[in-house]
Amino acid sequence: MDKYSFIMNSINSKRSSEKLALKLSSLLGESRVLVDLDILEQFSTDKSHCEGVMPDLAVRVKSESEIVSVLQLASQFNVPVVARGAGTGKSGGAIPVKGGVVLDLTLMNDLLEVDRENLLAVVQPGIVTGQMQSMLAADGLFYPPDPNSLESCTIGGNVAHNAGGPRAFKYGVTREYVMGVRAVLMGGDIVCPGKRTVKGVAGYDVTSLMVGSEGTLGVFSQITLKLIREPKIVSTLLVPMPDEESAGKAVSQIVAAGMVPSVLEFMDSFIVDVLRSKGVSGVDRATGALILAEVDGDDEASVERLTLRLADICESVGAREILMARHGGEREKLWAARRLMSDAVADTAKHKVSEDIVVPRSAAPELLTGLKRLSQKYHVRLASYGHAGDGNYHVNVLWDDDEFNVSPVVEDVFRLTLSLHGTITGEHGIGLAKRPYLSLEQAPSLIALQQNIKRVLDPRGLLNPGKIF
Ligand SMILES: Cc1cc2nc3c(=O)[nH]c(=O)nc-3n(C[C@H](O)[C@H](O)[C@H](O)COP(=O)(O)OP(=O)(O)OC[C@H]3O[C@@H](n4cnc5c(N)ncnc54)[C@H](O)[C@@H]3O)c2cc1C
């Protein structure tokens, strides 16, 4: 496209957005159509390092019929739309790249129904995950997926990214709990894939396709979630290990023994140093890596047995002075290291990029050795922590030089991961951040198939354009 056509296109799209803003203001009221630049700026970022552009407007919807109106009108005016929950995403998924509308779903935050007999809940997409979990827990019900951002992220964002978290090792990720969704397609049609029954195989599994679709196929207006009973007893262990190798051995022996703790988290030597400097308890000079584990269940004796067995395995490969806790406040103290970590690591450098790769669990030692090699090759700090039970590691690249080009490091981390039969993202999605790297993992035919699916649902590519592919 030449410069003149580009400018004319931009002017035309701004005009279309202005007309859309006027229409939506008369329909929803001016207070819910935001055009103030200060506010729009907030909608142009998320918790990734990605840069997008400002939307032309943001719309705060309160109901499914309002989502339908926005997607109908935006289609008519040929204006792109980006659905947005809390904006905690780490791959740039909720950031506009072509202006247009940001559809803010945070006002749709009701827990609509709890079916105690059939163990399910129906929720609106903007409910904050942690708040929903607390409401359900008051009834003894449990929605296990627990992204570390759960105090702020929304269930709609979790479904769009198929969010995981520390408990995924035992309980699985978001996908395992989504029984069905109501989704509004670009243009305003509503589809309702899914069921309220435990089994059901009618037609293609469109619910699964929608989970993890990163806001590119439809906008969730309602989500039906599977629940389980809350485990009565939880026991937490913070295990100081002498080095990363022994931590790796402990993890693989726990997994090989067929034990299924609900949490099995790993923190490397760099992170241990950072935590030690912050005075975190359990992190003394002899600690070279940390494991945080949790065992849960309803039966006192079996939780106790599993906890002791897990501690035995860790001790047999070098752990000392394992800290254990059973009750709320005490357990929270052991989690302090894990919760503090992300910010504490970020504070050690001017720049940080965080990747969320996954390798087969048995490949963890090769991954950690390979990362050390990359750290030396590029003269950067690499700090790794993660859901060791799943083989899902958050690899943080840290550097201070403003001129440093981090892309080759990131690409080498992905190439290392793929050489170990892993995947480039376990939780955060492709979004904008990993878009250049999808073709390292997936063949052109598989990418083309997904693009064709996208075209069927959104022929003009107006819903969250520029993401994934
Ligand atoms: C400190 C921190 C810790 C984190 N820990 C974890 C973790 O442990 N595990 C994990 O998986 N992630 C984690 N994340 C990443 C992030 O919180 C998750 O990806 C979360 O699911 C995003 O939810 P959100 O409401 O913020 O979505 P947003 O960032 O607003 O949006 C994310 C994507 O979802 C789409 N979307 C949002 N709502 C809808 C909807 N109703 N319909 C269709 N599409 C929609 C958007 O278009 C976008 O593509 C963490 C982030 C932070 C900042």
Looking at 184, 199, 229, the residue that finishes a domain is 229
| CA distance readout (Å), 289 to 15, 248, 267, 312, 325 | 57, 9, 6, 17, 20
Residues 71 and 36 in one domain: yes
* Cβ(433) – ligand 1 distance below 6 Å: no
At 284, the pLDDT band (50, 70, 90 cuts) reads confident
**pLDDT tens string 361-410:** 889 889 999 999 999 999 999 999 989 999 999 999 999 999 999 999 99
Residues 261 and 323 in one domain: yes
Count of residues for the chain?
469
Burial of residue 258 (CB within 10 Å: 0-12, 13-18, 19+) is exposed
Looking at 88, 105, 122, the residue that finishes a domain is 105
Which of 45, 66, 153 is the best mutation target for the ligand 1 pocket, counting ligand atoms within 8 Å of the beta carbon and taking the most? 153
* Cβ(46) – ligand 1 distance below 6 Å: yes
Burial of residue 23 (CB within 10 Å: 0-12, 13-18, 19+) is middle
Whether residue 394 lies inside any domain: the answer is yes
- The pLDDT > 90 percentage for the chain reads 87
**Domain span at 399:** 349-428
Residues 396 and 324 in one domain: no
Structure tokens at 172: 């699985």
Residues 131 and 199 in one domain: yes
**pLDDT tens string 244-263:** 999 989 998 999 999 999 99
Q: Calculate how far, in angstroms, residue 431's C-alpha sits from the geometric centre of ligand 1.
A: 11
The Cβ of residue 54 has, within 10 Å, a number of other Cβ atoms equal to 17
| The pLDDT value given to residue 3 | 62
- List the helix and strand counts (H, then E) for the chain: 15, 18
At 154, the pLDDT band (50, 70, 90 cuts) reads very high
Residue 180 sits in a domain whose CATH number is 3.30.465.10
- Pairing label, strands 57-60, 101-104: parallel
Q: Indicate the Cα dihedral angle 265, 268, 274, 280, nearest 10°.
A: 40
Averaged pLDDT, 269-276: 92
Whether residue 239 lies inside any domain: the answer is yes
* Cβ(219) – ligand 1 distance below 6 Å: yes
Which uninterrupted H or E stretch holds 281? none
Residue 354 sits in a domain whose CATH number is 3.30.70.2740
Is a pLDDT exceeding 80 seen at residue 2?
no
Residues 241 and 199 in one domain: no
Whether residue 445 lies inside any domain: the answer is no
Which of 88, 103, 353, 435 is the best mutation target for the ligand 1 pocket, counting ligand atoms within 8 Å of the beta carbon and taking the most? 88
Is a pLDDT exceeding 80 seen at residue 7?
no
> How far apart (Å, rounded) are the C-alpha atoms in residues 14 and 144?
43
**pLDDT tens string 299-331:** 999 999 999 999 999 999 999 899 999 988 899
Is a pLDDT exceeding 80 seen at residue 8?
no
Whether residue 466 lies inside any domain: the answer is no
Looking at 180, 203, 229, the residue that finishes a domain is 229
Is a pLDDT exceeding 70 seen at residue 433?
yes
> How far apart (Å, rounded) are the C-alpha atoms in residues 79 and 460?
10
| The pLDDT value given to residue 328 | 81
Residues 273, 275, 277, 280: is their CA dihedral positive or negative? negative
Nearest CA to ligand 1 atom 11: 163
Residues 221 and 236 in one domain: no
Residues 8 and 69 in one domain: yes
| CA distance readout (Å), 453 to 186, 187, 257, 318, 462 | 14, 16, 42, 51, 14
Residues 313 and 289 in one domain: yes
**pLDDT tens string 102-128:** 999 999 999 999 999 999 999 999 999
| The pLDDT value given to residue 278 | 86
Residues 93 and 134 in one domain: no
Structure tokens at 158: 């979790």
> How far apart (Å, rounded) are the C-alpha atoms in residues 366 and 194?
40
Mean pLDDT of the chain: 94
Q: Calculate how far, in angstroms, residue 159's C-alpha sits from the geometric centre of ligand 1.
A: 8
**pLDDT tens string 11-58:** 677 889 999 999 999 999 999 999 999 999 999 999 998 999 999 999
| The pLDDT value given to residue 442 | 98
Model's pTM, two decimal places?
0.95
Looking from the CA of residue 83, the nearest atom of ligand 1 is 47
In the chain, the number of structural domains is: 4
Residue 74 sits in a domain whose CATH number is 3.30.43.10
> How far apart (Å, rounded) are the C-alpha atoms in residues 269 and 379?
17
- Pairing label, strands 219-226, 178-184: antiparallel
Residues 117 and 225 in one domain: yes
Whether residue 249 lies inside any domain: the answer is yes
Q: Calculate how far, in angstroms, residue 356's C-alpha sits from the geometric centre of ligand 1.
A: 14
| The pLDDT value given to residue 336 | 83
Residues 297 and 312 in one domain: yes
Is a pLDDT exceeding 70 seen at residue 6?
no
